[in-house]
Amino acid sequence: MTGPAATPAPAGAAPLALALRGVTVDLGGFALRDVDLALPTGYVMGLVGPNGAGKTTLIRTLLGMWTASAGTVEVLGHALPAPVALRQEIGIVLDRPALVEDWRLDDVATALRPFYARWDDDRFATLLRTFRLDRRARVKELSRGMTMKLQIAVALSHDARLLLLDEPTSGLDPVARDELVGILGDYLVDDARSVLFSTHITADLERIADHLTVLSGGRVVRSGTRDDVLDAYCLVRGDDDELPADGIVPLHGARHTPVGVEALVATDDVPLLGPGVLVERPTLDQIVVHLGGTPPPVDPDPPAPARRRGLLASRGWS
C-alpha cells in the first residue's frame, strides 16, 4: 500500500489505529471544528454525544467521505486520502447500508467476495446463523435491526483491522446487543484490531469501551480513556445559594430540580464549591446530558484557578 506517510508514533508509544489532529470539516450549516482525538491500536473507543453532535460526520471523515479543510486525519498509519487498498482493512457499519435492495443475503457474499482478499464465507455464514438471519431473505425484506445485523456480519467477515461502526446497536434487541458485545470481545482478542463506535446506548460502552470521546456541537468536549473521562467531572447538587455563579466555576448543563440545582462540574473545581454541595461520580449518560447542552466555547479561556479562588473568597466561598 502506498499513500501519504502518517506522523510516526513517538518511540515506545503504541501505534495509533486512528488519529485526528486539529480537524475541521465544514458541511455548510454544520462543522466539526478543531477535532483532536487518537485511538491506540488494540482498543475500543466509544463516541457519544447528543443528536446532531457530529458523530456520523466524524466517522464519515475517517472513511474519506468528507474532506477536512484543516488538520490531519490518519487511519491505520495512513494520512488521508488513503490508498484504495486500505478499504480492505476497515469494517464499516453506517446508518444506510450500501447494499442492493434486491440482493438475497447469499448474493451479498457473492457480490462482496471479489472486493476483499481475506473474505471468509464460513465466518459470514456463522454470523448470519448467530444473528438468526435467513440467507434466502432479500435485503429489502429485512427490518432495521436485521439490516444492522447484516452490516455487522459483513464488517466482521473480511478480517478487518479496524471497525468503524455508526450506532451498530441501534435497532438491536437486548439479546442481539449482548451478542454483539460478545462478538466484539472475540474480535479484539487479536490486539492488532481496534474499534470506534458511536452509540446513544451508553450501557454498551460501560461494558466494552476503553476510550471515550464526548462530542457536542461539532467539538470534542472530552476524549481519553474511559476513566479519564468519567473522573474528569462530578455531578453536584445544591441550593441556589450553595453553588457559585456560573463563570466562576463553570456549571455544565445546570438545571433546576425539585431539590435544588444539579450540574456537572470539572473534578478539579470541586474543592472550590461550598461544603453543603452534594458531590457524586456521574454516569456516562449524565455526562452526555449535561455536556451535550453546553458545547465548549470557541475560545475556551477559563479564569485561572488562583483567580477563581480569589473570586470565590470575595464572595465568601473560600
Ligand X SMILES: Nc1ncnc2c1ncn2[C@@H]1O[C@H](COP(=O)(O)OP(=O)(O)OP(=O)(O)O)[C@@H](O)[C@H]1O
Q: Which residues bind ligand X (CB under 6 A)?
A: 27-30, 49, 51-57
Give the three cell numbers for residue 111.
Answer: 457480490
In angstroms, what is the minimal distance from the CB of 39 to ligand X? 18
In angstroms, what is the minimal distance from the CB of 187 to ligand X? 23
In angstroms, what is the minimal distance from the CB of 61 to ligand X? 9
In angstroms, what is the minimal distance from the CB of 8 to ligand X? 30
In angstroms, what is the minimal distance from the CB of 43 to ligand X? 21
Return d(Cα 179, Cα 298) in angstroms, integer: 41
2 or 51: CB nearest ligand X? 51
28 or 316: CB nearest ligand X? 28
In angstroms, what is the minimal distance from the CB of 203 to ligand X? 16
124 or 197: CB nearest ligand X? 197
* Phi/psi at 124 (5° precision): -60, -45
From the list 192, 96, 191, 110, the residue with the least C-alpha distance to 147 is 96
In angstroms, what is the minimal distance from the CB of 49 to ligand X? 5
| Whole-number Cα distances in Å, 147 to 132, 168, 236 | 12, 10, 41
58 or 99: CB nearest ligand X? 58
10 or 29: CB nearest ligand X? 29
150 or 288: CB nearest ligand X? 288
41 or 216: CB nearest ligand X? 216
From the list 235, 229, 246, the residue with the least C-alpha distance to 308 is 246
53 or 109: CB nearest ligand X? 53
